Structure 1
Amino acid sequence: MGEAEKYLDLPLEDVLGDRFGRYSKYIIQERALPDARDGLKPVQRRILYAMLKDGNTSDKPFRKAAKTVGNVIGNYHPHGDSSVYEAMVRMSQEWKVRNLLIEMHGNNGSIDGDPPAAMRYTEARLSSIAQELLQDIEKETVEFIPNFDDTQEEPVVLPAMYPNLLVNGSTGISSGYATDIPPHNLNEVIDAAIMQIDDPECTVQELMTVLRGPDFPTGGIVQGVDGIRKAYETGKGKVVVRAKTDIEDIRGGKQQIVITEVPYEVVKANLVKKMDELRFDKKVEGIAEVRDDTDRTGLRIVIEVKKEADAEGILNYLYKNTDLQVTYNFNMVAIHNRTPQLLGLKQLLHSYITHQKEVVTNRSRHELRKAKERQHIVEGLKKAISILDEVIETIRSSKDKKDAKNNLISRFEFSEPQAEAIVTLQLYRLTNTDITTLDNESNELAKEIEKLERILSSEKNLFAVIKKDLKKIKKTYGDERRTVIEEKIQELKIDLEVMVPSEDVIVSVTKEGYVKRTSLRSYSSSKNERPGMKETDDLIYFNELNTTDTLLLFTKKGQYLYMPIHELPDIRWKDNGQHVGNIVQLDREDELLKAIAVREFTEDSNLLFFTKNGMAKKTSLQAYKAQRYSKALVAVKVKENDEVVNVEMTNGNEEVFIGTKLGYGLRFLESEVSLVGQRAAGVKGINLKDGDEVINGLTFDLSKEEQAVIGLITQRGSMKKMPIQEFETSTRAKRGLVMLRELKSKPHQVVGLEKFETNDVIAVQTENEEVTHIETSILRNTDRYSNGSFVVDTKKNGDVSEAWKYTSHIKTEEQE
């Protein structure tokens, strides 16, 4: 063979595919998934078998766990000791396993997720029900294969005298497959198996009359019979598992919620911690304290409820937002005929029954063979005793054992096994070995042989044996169901009133995006000072709202943030708020424009959006009620180089006024803008000249406001106000009427346009960032053609860059 042939030139994907395929097959078959027949994964089967071989059984004293682990690794399972010990511990934890397979002394972990003590400290032995899994393994009931180093044999599967896969369930993840089979009640599983033996054609519906659903070791309540049925039919389905709770009245007219059972696989300590965090973060109001009163008598978590609070509502909130209620997804995958399969209840029971038929047949064959062999020997002994003196004579006159056997065979026609039995018979046995004892034994054996032959000759008799064995197990180990099963999944409706005590608060939003709510106490003690904020910042919203309201914050890029008031950070008036970016994800370049408070999202209110390029869009307020609001949501579709300039809440019968930078104003009826969906872009509101842009869009309800006044500020520091009647009503998408007199040199341009009400204050910012506050009451109304009065010295501070309306409640420095 030349050098060239030593190397295979293969494409990488073939090699990788092949190797990963082999690895996956190994993981699936030999590690992560249970066998459909005995419900065990290889490591569990090896632990139980090693303990049996070592005599570490339930009728003997406990033995160090480390010794068992060493045995398992040394003889059957050449993997890490921790994985073996963890598997061993799990089989001994009564909150994980419905019928314990291993009894353990010492710390074997807890439902709080505490780790077990190291294996050198703990002791273990097989539980008696685990011995039922191993029952008759020495009677050639199951196939054995060589272990990893070919020094011993190990079983491929255990005889399993009860359907362990359903009783103890299983969970595991391999490559490409995962499995989740919940534990069930032993009595019910055995009844279902017997029903299936009696009537192989029975339906899942019929089986469910005896096997009602999962029965978790931790109890709890399972809701959703339809989910159980679907899982039993297809292997996949989901149910809701919730804790067992009671609402108790305690002294002082208060109530407390007491939890005595938690859902399966939930770590109690984490659950208690989470509930206490909800209390601490005021996510749900009305919880006075959460404490864990669990002791040796049993699990008990107490949630004390404040005096006025609604315990039922709080409980529903906890079901929804903590692991007090979890969904359990059935995914019943097991190894069946050496391949992973998704099995329904019928197939699981069928594969168990088929396995039992094999086990019982093999056991009967083994026992029959042994009985026939013994029968043969008893016949020999009977014959030998009837001619005892000659037999002794023959043995005495022989040279050695072999010669004696040959002489017995040739002289009296004994068979080889009979001669062996006679030669090895101890002398003292001759004292009481009379013919009647042997006759009795012979008759017993004859009966036994007849019985075994009957079993082997008919399936009906075979099934009778299986059923008898199962009933015996049921009688010995069966116990009451722990989990309650309820037909329907309860819809959790949570009143906002439950979680949020109705409380009036002051809400403020600043230009740079800081929000907060402040208690009325903190606000009133501040004696009308400005709220805490950065030097460069200013308020854009300030109002008294209720914690049950919602604040909608709109941005220039057409997005909005949905903020329930009760979720806003509660911060003192003097301290800075929290940036919205910390509460809701928002684009870096985007900025806040407007805040609108909403009490109820009704159908008869609309939001009207105005953009810089003259678009107007109207959408029903209801479209902005959000279910999920962890990030900014789309409020209006805005083109690339456009941005939102204002949002107003309207009632559908208002008038609209749009003002532009070059001094055009257009008045039309709101009804001209038709209602569109939340993500739409809207219609043209005003027809702009080249180089012009919308400064603001306003709405007026003239049925309520006789004194509707429009005010504007120009870049030259001039301000004017005009009654809306100066503009006659036109239609949308027109150019509009002039609001300023034309000047040849340095014409005025509008930088701010607002609706002026009686005690409004306007904040005017100039290019060097000086802010001046001007009260609108100092101005008198003018017509459309004046250029207003100068209110800001632009020579000193530069042109006016922007202006906005200041909330009237707070005094400015100038007013003080």
Structure 2
Amino acid sequence: MEENLQPQETSDNDRIIQVNIEEQMKTAYIDYSMSVIVGRALPDVRDGFKPVHRRVLFGMNELGNNSNKPYKKSARVVGDVMGKYHPHGDASIYDTLVRMAQQFSMRHVLVDSQGNFGTQDGDPPAAMRYTEVRLHRFAEAMLEDIEKDTVDFQPNFDDSLEEPTVLPTRIPQLLVNGSSGIAVGMATNMMPHNLGEAIDGCIAYIDNKEITAEELIQYVKAPDFPTGGTIYGMEGVRQALMTGRGRVVVRGKYHIETKQSGREQIVITEVPYQVGLDALTDKIGQLVNDKTIEGIAHVNNESNKREGTRIVVDLKRDGVANVIVNQLFKFTELQTSFGINNVAISKGRPRILNVRDLISEFVEFRMEVVIRRTKFELRKAEEKAHILEGYLKALDHLDEVIALIRGSRTPEEAKESLMTKSREEKWYLGQELFADLTSELYTQEEGLSDLQAKAILELRLQRLTGMERDKILEEFNELIKNIKRLKELLASEDLRYDLIKKELAEVKEKFGNPRRSEIQYLADEMRIEDLIEQEDVVITISHLGYIKRTSATEYRQQRRGGRGAIGSKTRQEDYVEHLFVASTHDTMLFFTEKGRCYWLKVYEIPEGEKQSKGRAIQNLIQIPSDDKVRAIIDVKKIDDKDFVNSHYIVLCTKKGIIKKTLLEDFSRPRANGVNAINIVEGDELLEARMTNGEDEIMLAIKSGRAIRFEESKVRPTGRGAIGVGGIEVDDETDEVIGMICVDKDDKEKTVLVVSEKGFGKRTAVDEYRITNRGGKGVKTISVTEKTGKLVGILDVTEKEDLIITCKSGITLRTAVNSIKAAGRATQGVKLIRLDEGDEIAAISKINEQEVIEEDGSISEEKVENADQPATDVENNNESTNDNNDTTQEPGEQENQ
């Protein structure tokens, strides 16, 4: 073998070098395979295109075949691209052009088409001489700024022209439209995704470069196919997003209809991606003929362009629809799986990429484009400013310029004379033009440069007028501002990222649309939050610490003054103390009278009927037996860092102590709870509210006084602090009964106060003057033996309902707008008629919503009185008590 490898001379002029054939083939095959991988079959991670797609779009752009121009014949586009950039045959170019125009192939089409471009049934497109195309606006966003030196160009196949190596896309095209291709020794199969989700992922990455692939899945949830369908199971999708390889199962969408004859039919309205409608229909028919599936009488493809996909499967009389659907999923392409293999060219090499890699590569490329575009615009602006500077100098020395030009024999001589004269006499513009400019921003030439002198000689005579000089000066000033902006952009990475985010948001606004493919989780991969329907529920907590959640619709609305309905079956000595509304996905913060804070998800609170007792709080959160919940706050975004760092928890005690702490201090749940406030002996926590730091705080006490002061008067302190004085409480028997926090710009809010014997009223917030914290406050209700002590204060609007809960368990829901406004000094009107010895225990508010019984009837525990005036209800009810009349005191507003 060694002898064969020695070079042999056959003549003086020829030399044959023998090589090892194995090595030669290996080298040649590697070169060939890399050529296929990089130059044909795999997309570039930056713009998401293979060379043929890039060349077609660039060729159309060079041809002027834009979205605002008339269509051009496809044959003309194909010929132009083939002759200039892609010498691989017209069929491959036209196939590419067709696919980019098919709405059932591309999540966002890149080519706007006219003519027959094929159908989802598998029908082929018309010949290229019959069809017409132009660029879609979506594709133009990928070509934008290509003329501004944003990307590198390379010679085309015959070195006669230049073509871009990549397009300066503003869109994460590879994520949005996906790609597929078979190279040598590797392949790619990337799924399309929703544009809005992809852009949200890019913005999340820009905001936090340390974000993980798992965290990005919150934004880029799953593929989004142009033909819709249902993604069945997320485990394979998560695997693909996190590793670059996975599997997605897609099912078609269907519904079951019943014909007039009583027979059922399965109507398929969406099929999985890349599944032909006729092929699916034929397959179902074949399975019926083979008796693989029984129970189907007839199948027909009724799809059309107007109504979209519609495949109708008629069932036999004994056919069970759900069984047949499952058989269709098993034996036909109504359920299809796609292997995800995210392989793309990154920095010249093929790489498997997860969702974070795809986004980071795109954002990195976008940053490069923005830098190159800014440098180009800066260069052009400085060149233009340089020319305008020459014009202004020439206009300042107009007579000398004209004399020099007239005295010159040739243009070249005139140019040299201008340059020499200006430098000798040191022509400069007035310093007022450059007063705010540093030498780094702009430095004017001494005299005239070669470029300026040449431009002056080409100046039109009309620009020598005074008005034209003002225009030139205005244009020069605008250019200087632009140069300053561009230099600031180049000097600040943060400004460039902000610009990228702004441009991405514009793309989302312009082209974004809702997700088409639904996501269906499997039982073993479902999160608890996904299983729980997000709805408003009423949370009730009794005096003895029993808690439950009930659907808000169970509380039927009644008129003011009504008898109410039994809201909770409690022990004789127990009553409902807290009642409020929250969403099932919210986090509840529980504050106890000893100043501790505990956490609980709303969906973790046991669901109970309206009349049920509920479950002891101690069984849900670890509250000591000698402590009890006094205040509850509903937090919707406890995981949002911006939210928890911009909101506060304001706490108040029965003795009038108030304290403010950043919500972030309460954003990390602990099983044993944390200290929220240090309570002094003899005092206890009464209320907690969440604020934005700029609210106004109002405290009310039993004896009927209230105080209003700005939240800024209370400085934020840590969880372990004691707090400061909020309102003065003189009498040992007196105490704070409630606190509200009011947005000072919210003019719709009024202050609602309720006394223990059922009297209440609304008063404008402005009637309570703003004072310093720690004062005595002003009168908020006229407290008499008839009204009883003040028991509650709320900030309400007329669009809300009031829920009143009595110690006996009776609950009344009434519209706030049925309670007329009254002055501070009045005692108000009767809101609810109480049985002897009963008192109001708690008041709460709820968004107004109409509640109707399904059968139109009322349960035995309710007394229908919604259609009667309040006074009639009192007269007609058997339990009417003479002491509960509604005779008004002097000064009380008429409201019955």
TM-score greater than 0.5 by the shorter chain: yes
Whether 1:98 aligns to 2:139 is no
User: Structure 1 residue aligned with 2:237, among 228, 232, 239?
Assistant: 228
Secondary structure of the residue aligned to 2:201 is helix
Q: What residue is the counterpart of 1:485 in the other structure?
A: 519
Secondary structure of the residue aligned to 2:166 is coil
| 2:381 maps to amino acid | A
Query: Is the Cα contact below 8 Å between 2:39 and 2:51 reproduced in 1?
Result: yes
Secondary structure of the residue aligned to 2:68 is coil
User: Structure 1 residue aligned with 2:356, among 329, 346, 353?
Assistant: 346
Q: What residue is the counterpart of 2:673 in the other structure?
A: none
- Superposition pairs of residues 212-227 of structure 1, within 5 angstroms: 212-227=221-236
Q: How far apart, CA to CA, are the structure 2 residues paired with 1:275 and 1:80?
A: 38
Whether 1:437 aligns to 2:471 is yes
User: Structure 2 residue aligned with 1:293, among 302, 306, 326?
Assistant: 302
Q: How far apart, CA to CA, are the structure 2 residues paired with 1:262 and 1:100?
A: 19
User: Structure 1 residue aligned with 2:400, among 390, 405, 409?
Assistant: 390
Q: How far apart, CA to CA, are the structure 2 residues paired with 1:261 and 1:3?
A: 74
Q: What residue is the counterpart of 1:317 in the other structure?
A: 327
Secondary structure of the residue aligned to 1:3 is coil
Query: Is the Cα contact below 8 Å between 1:204 and 1:229 reproduced in 2?
Result: no
5+ long unaligned stretches in structure 1: 492-816
Task: Return the offset for 1:120.
Answer: 1.0
Q: How far apart, CA to CA, are the structure 1 residues paired with 2:367 and 2:126?
A: 41
Q: How far apart, CA to CA, are the structure 1 residues paired with 2:494 and 2:61?
A: 32
Task: Return the offset for 1:400.
Answer: 2.4
| 2:287 maps to amino acid | L
Q: What residue is the counterpart of 2:78 in the other structure?
A: 69
Q: What residue is the counterpart of 1:146 in the other structure?
A: 155
- Superposition pairs of residues 169-248 of structure 1, within 5 angstroms: 169-248=178-257
Q: How far apart, CA to CA, are the structure 1 residues paired with 2:210 and 2:66?
A: 39
Q: How far apart, CA to CA, are the structure 1 residues paired with 2:524 and 2:322?
A: 13
- Superposition pairs of residues 461-610 of structure 1, within 5 angstroms: 461-488=495-522
5+ long unaligned stretches in structure 2: 1-8, 423-446, 526-896
Task: Return the offset for 1:447.
Answer: 1.4
Residues 577-615 of structure 1, C-alpha deviations (whole Å, 9 max, x = no match): xxxxxxxxxxxxxxxxxxxxxxxxxxxxxxxxxxxxxxx
Secondary structure of the residue aligned to 2:470 is helix
Task: Return the offset for 1:430.
Answer: 3.4
Q: What residue is the counterpart of 2:289 in the other structure?
A: 280
Q: What residue is the counterpart of 1:357 in the other structure?
A: 367
Q: What residue is the counterpart of 2:316 in the other structure?
A: 306
Secondary structure of the residue aligned to 2:298 is strand
Residues 290-347 of structure 1, C-alpha deviations (whole Å, 9 max, x = no match): 1011112211111011111101100100001000000111100000011111100011
Task: Return the offset for 1:407.
Answer: 1.6
Task: Return the offset for 1:12.
Answer: 2.5
| 2:163 maps to amino acid | E
Q: What residue is the counterpart of 1:572 in the other structure?
A: none
Q: What residue is the counterpart of 1:621 in the other structure?
A: none
Secondary structure of the residue aligned to 1:428 is helix
Query: Is the Cα contact below 8 Å between 2:463 and 2:469 reproduced in 1?
Result: no
Q: What residue is the counterpart of 1:449 in the other structure?
A: 483
Query: Is the Cα contact below 8 Å between 1:222 and 1:486 reproduced in 2?
Result: yes
Q: What residue is the counterpart of 1:547 in the other structure?
A: none
Q: How far apart, CA to CA, are the structure 2 residues paired with 1:64 and 1:9?
A: 54
Residues 654-686 of structure 1, C-alpha deviations (whole Å, 9 max, x = no match): xxxxxxxxxxxxxxxxxxxxxxxxxxxxxxxxx
Query: Is the Cα contact below 8 Å between 2:213 and 2:354 reproduced in 1?
Result: no
User: Structure 1 residue aligned with 2:272, among 255, 263, 268?
Assistant: 263
Secondary structure of the residue aligned to 1:434 is helix
Going from structure 1 to structure 2, the CA distance change for 1:437 and 1:325 (only over 3 Å counts) comes to: same
- Which stretch of the first structure deviates more once superposed, 4-13 or 377-386? 4-13
Secondary structure of the residue aligned to 2:390 is helix
Task: Return the offset for 1:2.
Answer: 5.3
Tell me which structure has the larger Cα radius of gyration. 1
Residues 496-528 of structure 1, C-alpha deviations (whole Å, 9 max, x = no match): xxxxxxxxxxxxxxxxxxxxxxxxxxxxxxxxx
* TM-score normalised to structure 2 length: 0.54
| 2:497 maps to amino acid | F
Q: How far apart, CA to CA, are the structure 2 residues paired with 1:153 and 1:47?
A: 14
| 1:164 maps to amino acid | Q
Going from structure 1 to structure 2, the CA distance change for 1:118 and 1:489 (only over 3 Å counts) comes to: farther
User: Structure 2 residue aligned with 1:124, among 123, 133, 143?
Assistant: 133
Q: How far apart, CA to CA, are the structure 1 residues paired with 2:405 and 2:178?
A: 61
Query: Is the Cα contact below 8 Å between 1:98 and 1:168 reproduced in 2?
Result: yes
Query: Is the Cα contact below 8 Å between 1:371 and 1:448 reproduced in 2?
Result: yes
Q: What residue is the counterpart of 2:739 in the other structure?
A: none
Query: Is the Cα contact below 8 Å between 2:10 and 2:16 reproduced in 1?
Result: no
Q: What residue is the counterpart of 1:3 in the other structure?
A: 11
- Superposition pairs of residues 676-687 of structure 1, within 5 angstroms: none
- Which stretch of the first structure deviates more once superposed, 388-397 or 173-182? 388-397
Task: Return the offset for 1:433.
Answer: 5.1
Going from structure 1 to structure 2, the CA distance change for 1:301 and 1:170 (only over 3 Å counts) comes to: same
User: Structure 1 residue aligned with 2:50, among 30, 41, 53?
Assistant: 41
Q: Percent identity?
A: 46
Task: Return the offset for 1:16.
Answer: 1.8
Alignment root-mean-square deviation, CA = 1.6
Secondary structure of the residue aligned to 1:251 is coil
| 1:81 maps to amino acid | D
| 1:48 maps to amino acid | L
Q: How far apart, CA to CA, are the structure 1 residues paired with 2:523 and 2:160?
A: 55
Q: How far apart, CA to CA, are the structure 2 residues paired with 1:489 and 1:182?
A: 24
Query: Is the Cα contact below 8 Å between 1:240 and 1:489 reproduced in 2?
Result: no
Residues 693-736 of structure 1, C-alpha deviations (whole Å, 9 max, x = no match): xxxxxxxxxxxxxxxxxxxxxxxxxxxxxxxxxxxxxxxxxxxx
Q: How far apart, CA to CA, are the structure 2 residues paired with 1:212 and 1:240?
A: 15
Task: Return the offset for 1:432.
Answer: 6.8
Q: What residue is the counterpart of 1:250 in the other structure?
A: 259
Task: Return the offset for 1:458.
Answer: 1.6
Residues 447-504 of structure 1, C-alpha deviations (whole Å, 9 max, x = no match): 111111111112111101111111111111111111101122899xxxxxxxxxxxxx
Q: How far apart, CA to CA, are the structure 1 residues paired with 2:507 and 2:399?
A: 51
Going from structure 1 to structure 2, the CA distance change for 1:109 and 1:489 (only over 3 Å counts) comes to: farther
Going from structure 1 to structure 2, the CA distance change for 1:19 and 1:433 (only over 3 Å counts) comes to: farther
Whether 1:159 aligns to 2:193 is no
Q: How far apart, CA to CA, are the structure 1 residues paired with 2:10 and 2:152?
A: 45
Q: How far apart, CA to CA, are the structure 2 residues paired with 1:442 and 1:224?
A: 61
Secondary structure of the residue aligned to 2:77 is helix
Query: Is the Cα contact below 8 Å between 2:295 and 2:319 reproduced in 1?
Result: yes
| 1:333 maps to amino acid | V
User: Structure 2 residue aligned with 1:402, among 409, 412, 415?
Assistant: 412
Secondary structure of the residue aligned to 1:99 is coil
Query: Is the Cα contact below 8 Å between 2:245 and 2:340 reproduced in 1?
Result: yes
Whether 1:379 aligns to 2:389 is yes
Secondary structure of the residue aligned to 1:238 is strand
Q: What residue is the counterpart of 1:798 in the other structure?
A: none
Going from structure 1 to structure 2, the CA distance change for 1:2 and 1:489 (only over 3 Å counts) comes to: farther
| 1:423 maps to amino acid | L
Task: Return the offset for 1:428.
Answer: 3.2
Query: Is the Cα contact below 8 Å between 1:357 and 1:463 reproduced in 2?
Result: yes
Q: How far apart, CA to CA, are the structure 1 residues paired with 2:300 and 2:15?
A: 70
Q: How far apart, CA to CA, are the structure 2 residues paired with 1:223 and 1:3?
A: 73
Query: Is the Cα contact below 8 Å between 2:277 and 2:301 reproduced in 1?
Result: no
